[in-house]
Structure 1
C-alpha cells in the first residue's frame, strides 16, 4: 500500500531517541534518500495545517522539486489535526503524517519524525506560520554552502519579533543569559539558542542519543551532535493568526530543567558517567533533593528533640523527622531525579509501588542513619547536628544506589 494513501499513517518509532546514519528503507519508495526532510510538530493546529502545507509545498516545489518530504507529527490533537493532514496527503504526495498517542512533547515529536525521515538534511518548522516559510530558502543555501547546522535567528541582522510584550522579551533574554552561564560552550555558539526553526545534516547528529525536555531541541542538537560549522539567518517571529499560543510558564521551567540535565550529561560529570558507568548526573540530582530533605529533617529534629521545644528522646525524634523527610524526597525524586522512568509509569498503583519501595529502602537507610548518628554523637563528636549531617551523608549513598536498582525501574510493560 502506498504510504500516502488516505487510510495510512506512519508507524511511530519506539525506544531511544536516536537518529540512524542510514536512511530508513521503504517497500514503496526509492531507498536512495532525498535532500530534505522537514518535520512539522503539531498540536491543535487544525485551522492552520492546510495553509502551512500549501505554502511549504509551493515553496519547496520551486527550490528542490521532488527532493523533499514534509512530515507532520501530531500529538493526538483533540481537534484531529492529524486527520486533516492525512486527508491532504492525497493532494500533496510529498506529505507524510504520524499520529502519536502515547508520547507528548514538541522535542520528542521532532526526533520521532526525524527517525522515519529519508532526508540527508533534517529540519523543523512550527505548524502555526510563526516561522516565515520563505526563510527556508536561506537555510537551504546555508547547508548547501557547507554548514552542518543552519539556524533561523531572531537576534541577527534581519531578525526580530513582531509584537512581544516587554515581559516576554525580558523572559526570553533572561533565559538566554541563564543558558550562557550554565552552558557557554553550547549556547555561545549561536545567537538564538531557543530557536525552533533550523536545518541540520543527518550525519551531524547520527548516533547521538538525544534526551530533550520541553520545546528547545536545538540545545540537544548542538550539545550532543558533532556540529562543526554553523550559519545563522535572520527572521522575524510573527504572532499566530489562528489557534492559541502554547507558551506558558511550564516551558520556562522545562527549559531550566533541560539546561541542568544537559550541563550534567555533557560536562565533567557526563564524562565520568561514560568512563565509570556511575550515573553521576542522576546522583547529583538525588543529592540536591536530599539536601532539601536535610532542611526538613533538621527542622523536625529541632522541633521534636531540642530542650527548648518538645524535648523528646533523640532516637524517637530522629525516626519521626526522617520519615517526614523521606516523604519530601520521594515526591521530588519522582518528579525530577527519575522523571524519565516515572513518565512511563504514571498510574496511581505504579506510583504507590515506587513510594513503598522507596520508603522501605529509606527506612533501612534510616536505621543505618540512626546507628551512625548515635555512634558519632556518643563516641566521636558530641554535637547532635554535626553527627546528624555525617549520618545523612552515609545514608544518602545507600539510598541512591539501592533505589536506582530497585525503585525506579520500568517493570510494568504492556
Structure 2
C-alpha cells in the first residue's frame, strides 16, 4: 500500500483496497469514517454532534476521519479548520480518486480502530443511533447495521417513486444475490459498524456508493445485528442519488455473485422444507380457486360473469394461501410478528408478490413457447415452476423475514 502525503492532512493510501489486520499506529477502539462531497453546510454540525455523543460514551477512545473528494465547496478545508477544536478529528483530501465506497475503504486503511464504521456527512443518518450500533458490537455482533426496514425504522418523506425504487432494488438483490442481500433487511444502508478482523486482508472491489454489500459478500461476517432508524430528509446541500447509482448497484450485485461463489452457497442453503410446504399450500390454492370459480360463475349456481368470478376466486385463493403459509410454512416467523398490523402488512406484500408472479408466469410462458419449446403445456409447466420459485423466495425475504439478524 503506497502513501501520497498532502501537507497537514492524513496520507491518502493508493493501490489495492485492502484493510490491514492491525494499524501501524497506536490503537483506538473505534474509527468512524465520514465520506464527503460538497457538505460544507453540514460538516461542522455533524462533527459537533458526533463528538458530544462519543465523548460521553467512549471518551478519548475513538477517532473521526473525514474523507473528502476534493469538494468544490471546500468541505475538506472547513473540516480541517475544526481539528484544533475537536482533537479526535482527522481529515483526508482525495484528489485522484472519486466515489463514496472507495473513500470509506481509504479511510479504513489509515484508521487506528479495532471497530470501523461509516456515516453519511449530510445528517440524513441520525447520529444518536450510533450509540445503539456500538452497543450491538459490544454484545458480540461482527456487523451492526442501521436499517430503515425494521421496527423503529422508516423514511421521513420519500416520494412513492423513491420508495418503489428502493424496494425494487432490494427485490432485485434477493433474486441476483440472495445469500448476501438476504442476510440484512436494508442491504443499501450506508450506516454501519464492522469489526476490523472481519474484513482485514480481504481485497474489496466495490462499485458505486453502496459498500455494505461488499463487506457482507467478501468479509468473514458471522453475527449481524440491526438497529432501526428513520432516514432524515436533507436540510442543506443536494442529494447525490441518481439513476446511475441504481445501475451501479445492479452491476455490483452481478459482480459479487460471479466473483465470490455465492451461487453455490445459495444452492446449499436453499430451505427445501419450506419450499415443499409452500408448494403444497399453492396446490391447495388451485382447488380453492376452481371451487369458488364454479360456485360464482356456473349457470346452475350464482351465474356471475366469468371475469368477475375469476378475480374474486383468485383473491380468495390468495387469501387461503396466505393463511396456510402464515400458520404452517412460515409459522416460526409469524409467531414472532403476530400483531394484526404485521399480519395485514404481510398479506399486502403477499398479494403484490403473487401479482408480480402472475406477470412473470405470462412472460416466461411466451418466451419459452415462442423461442424454445413449441409445446404450450410444457412451456406453461416451466413458467409455473419459475413463478413458484419467485413467489416463494421473494415472500421468504420480504413478507416473512428469515435472516441471520439477531
Q: What residue is the counterpart of 1:83 in the other structure?
A: 77
2:24 aligned with 1:24, yes or no? yes
Q: CA deviation at 1:22?
A: 1.2
2:40 aligned with 1:46, yes or no? yes
Distance of 1:265 and 1:247 partners within structure 2: 26
Q: What residue is the counterpart of 2:174 in the other structure?
A: 180
Distance of 2:152 and 2:263 partners within structure 1: 39
| Structure 2 residue matching 1:46: 3-state secondary structure | coil
Q: 1:270 to 1:254 in 2, by over 3 A?
A: farther
Question: Which aligned pairs between 1:191-230 and structure 2 lie closer than 5 A?
Answer: 191-230=185-224
* Structure 1 residue corresponding to 2:124, chosen from 126, 130, 135: 130
Question: Which aligned pairs between 1:8-407 and structure 2 lie closer than 5 A?
Answer: 8-25=8-25, 31=26, 33-267=27-261
Query: Is the Cα contact below 8 Å between 1:72 and 1:98 reproduced in 2?
Result: yes
Q: After superposition, give the CA deviation of every residue in 1:282-309 in whole Å (9 maximum; x if it has no partner).
A: xxxxxxxxxxxxxxxxxxxxxxxxxxxx
Q: Unaligned 5+ residue runs, structure 2?
A: 1-5, 266-406
Distance of 1:7 and 1:235 partners within structure 2: 38
Q: After superposition, give the CA deviation of every residue in 1:138-159 in whole Å (9 maximum; x if it has no partner).
A: 0000000000000000001000
Please identify runs of 4+ aligned residues in structure 1 that moved more than 3 A. Answer: 268-271
| Structure 1 residue matching 2:240: 3-state secondary structure | coil
Distance of 2:133 and 2:47 partners within structure 1: 18
Q: 1:7 to 1:17 in 2, by over 3 A?
A: closer
RMSD: 1.5
Distance of 1:115 and 1:147 partners within structure 2: 21
Distance of 1:23 and 1:246 partners within structure 2: 32
Q: CA deviation at 1:114?
A: 0.2
Q: CA deviation at 1:270?
A: 10
| Structure 2 residue matching 1:255: 3-state secondary structure | helix
Distance of 1:24 and 1:269 partners within structure 2: 37
Q: CA deviation at 1:53?
A: 0.5
TM value normalised by structure 1 = 0.62
Distance of 2:143 and 2:178 partners within structure 1: 18
| Structure 2 residue matching 1:40: 3-state secondary structure | strand
Distance of 1:200 and 1:144 partners within structure 2: 11
| Structure 2 residue matching 1:24: 3-state secondary structure | coil
Q: What residue is the counterpart of 1:326 in the other structure?
A: none
Q: What residue is the counterpart of 2:339 in the other structure?
A: none
Query: Is the Cα contact below 8 Å between 1:24 and 1:117 reproduced in 2?
Result: no
Distance of 1:209 and 1:270 partners within structure 2: 21
Q: CA deviation at 1:269?
A: 8.6
Query: Is the Cα contact below 8 Å between 1:264 and 1:270 reproduced in 2?
Result: no
Q: What is the total number of aligned residue pairs between the two structures?
A: 260
Q: CA deviation at 1:127?
A: 0.3
Distance of 1:238 and 1:269 partners within structure 2: 36
Query: Is the Cα contact below 8 Å between 1:132 and 1:237 reproduced in 2?
Result: yes
Distance of 1:203 and 1:73 partners within structure 2: 22
| Structure 2 residue matching 1:256: 3-state secondary structure | helix
Q: What residue is the counterpart of 1:332 in the other structure?
A: none
- Structure number with higher relative contact order (C-alpha < 8 Å, ≥ 6 residues apart): 2
Q: CA deviation at 1:24?
A: 2.5
Q: CA deviation at 1:106?
A: 0.1
Q: CA deviation at 1:267?
A: 1.9
Q: CA deviation at 1:7?
A: 6.0
Q: What residue is the counterpart of 1:306 in the other structure?
A: none
TM value normalised by structure 2 = 0.63
Distance of 1:87 and 1:98 partners within structure 2: 13
Q: CA deviation at 1:268?
A: 6.6
Q: Could you tell which deviates more after superposition, 262-271 or 167-176?
A: 262-271
